[in-house]
Chain A
Amino acid sequence: MVEVHLWSGLRSLTGGQQVVEVEAKTTGDLLRELVRTHPQLEGPIEAGVSIAIDGRVIATGLTEPIPEGSEVYLMQRLRGG
């Protein structure tokens, strides 16, 4: 299981939870499982998110592996200039 830390603005969509657990080996798994277990997260995930794994920010990739025990944060999709 991966503990996923959400940004606090998402708590209203997860019944107040800021940390949710899902089964995932990759970033793609993680997003799919988040939507399956918390359908209300589909909006933000569709709008675009990035995922930080142990501090490394995965901007868009769905194939990045999530090692066992890593710290995972869901973030707003980063945009550059």
Chain B
Amino acid sequence: MSKLHVTTTVNGDEVDFLCDPRETLLDCLRDKLNLTGAKEGCGTGDCGACSVTVDGRLVCSCLMLGAEAEGKTIETVEGIADGDVLHPLQQKFIEHAALQCGICTPGILVAAKSLLEKNPNPTEEETRYWLAGNLCRCTGYDKIIRAVMETAEELREAS
């Protein structure tokens, strides 16, 4: 099958790749661009480990074809930190031990960042429902929710 040439912007860099029309955006990020931060936990859009934003919208990259990335702006976990300065969410996740194994962490960070951009003052319930599409099997979510809420509070105080 002939391959498609796709040009897109990932974490601020213009990149291009050749993909099979059946390959997902997740496959392309991981296998063509070596951005292995997004993980495949299910391939059916149920676990959120592959979360990225496309033109500012939070999506499961396993549910989108690589070919659909043409001309889009994509942000992944690799783009969250500002150079060597961690995003406050990343810092807070480390401090709160909001990760155990760490496989869900990239997706949860992308999703949580997206939440705080839309709603800087989420309630616990809003945070829990926003992150309901991101499965974590290790933590019981307690420390994750606390880390997100506390980051939100600090960002509000700083602004």
A and B touch in the complex (CB under 8 A): no
Q: Which residue numbers of B lie inside 8 Å of A, CB to CB?
A: none
